[in-house]
Structure 1
Amino acid sequence: MALIPCPYCKKQISSLAKQCQHCDAKLTGDNEARLNIAKINQASKLQTHSFIAMTLFVAGVVIWFWGGEPAEGNRMYAGAVCFTFGFIGYLITRVRIILHKRRSV
């Protein structure tokens, strides 16, 4: 017996439970398939977040160096904000992907 996340509400339940005590969802024999689908969906979301963060990072670099010279004024601030949030967001998302893969094994 192990604790697994409920496929519906994501709260911890017994692997032998017939019904979730939190959301009252009926749990049938295909729980393993639902858990695999939930893992795949989470991995897909994390990859999407990673792509968005990388796009924001690249946008910051493009804004900063548009026209062949370093930015000044508002363009400098916009580029720096995009660059910083994209870089930090990408790092955080990559750590979350690694942790997700370790949990899935």
Structure 2
Amino acid sequence: MALIHCAGCGKRISDKAPTCPHCQYARDSDPEVAERAGRIRAIRHNQTLMTHSFIALLLFVGGFALWWWGGEAAEGWREPVGTGAMALGFVFYLVTRVRIILARRRA
């Protein structure tokens, strides 16, 4: 018995199982259906990555706006929160962009 990836949901299942216990995808179905399910899974993954990238960009811009609110540099609690949001958003954005590049190379 070996573990394989389900064509429908991508989770690991037994190669002896006739259907996936997670998504009920029938393994013995038409290969064209399996290819379509794989393409749909890849599209959903790419959409998720783009959403993460957008959220990271919003976090970065939000930190920058908090830092410069009122036209001058931040003081008090706005300084560490703004700096942290900018740093976290920038790092999260870079990591997400690398994940997008790697996902496109796999396709």
TM-score clears 0.5: yes
How far does residue 44 in structure 1 lie from its aligned partner after superposition? 0.2
The equivalent residue for 2:65 is 62
Task: Determine if the alignment matches structure 1 residue 26 to structure 2 residue 29.
Answer: no
Q: SS of 2:103's equivalent?
A: helix
The number of aligned residues is 99
The equivalent residue for 1:10 is 11
Query: TM-score scaled by structure 2?
Result: 0.80
Instruction: List gaps (5 residues or longer) in structure 2.
Output: none
Q: SS of 1:8's equivalent?
A: coil
Instruction: List gaps (5 residues or longer) in structure 1.
Output: none
In structure 2, distance between residues paired with 1:69 and 1:93:
31
Q: Tell me the C-alpha RMSD between the 2 structures.
A: 2.4
In structure 1, distance between residues paired with 2:36 and 2:55:
29
Letter in 2 for 1:60: G
How far does residue 81 in structure 1 lie from its aligned partner after superposition? 1.3
String of CA shifts for 1:45-75, please: whole Å, max 9, x gaps.
0000000000000000000011111101101
Letter in 2 for 1:68: G
Q: SS of 2:70's equivalent?
A: coil
Query: TM-score scaled by structure 1?
Result: 0.81
Moved segments of 4+, more than 4 Å: none
How far does residue 8 in structure 1 lie from its aligned partner after superposition? 2.6
Aligned-pair identity in percent equals: 41
In structure 2, distance between residues paired with 1:26 and 1:78:
50
String of CA shifts for 1:10-34, please: whole Å, max 9, x gaps.
22777xx8836x7374121100000
Letter in 2 for 1:102: R
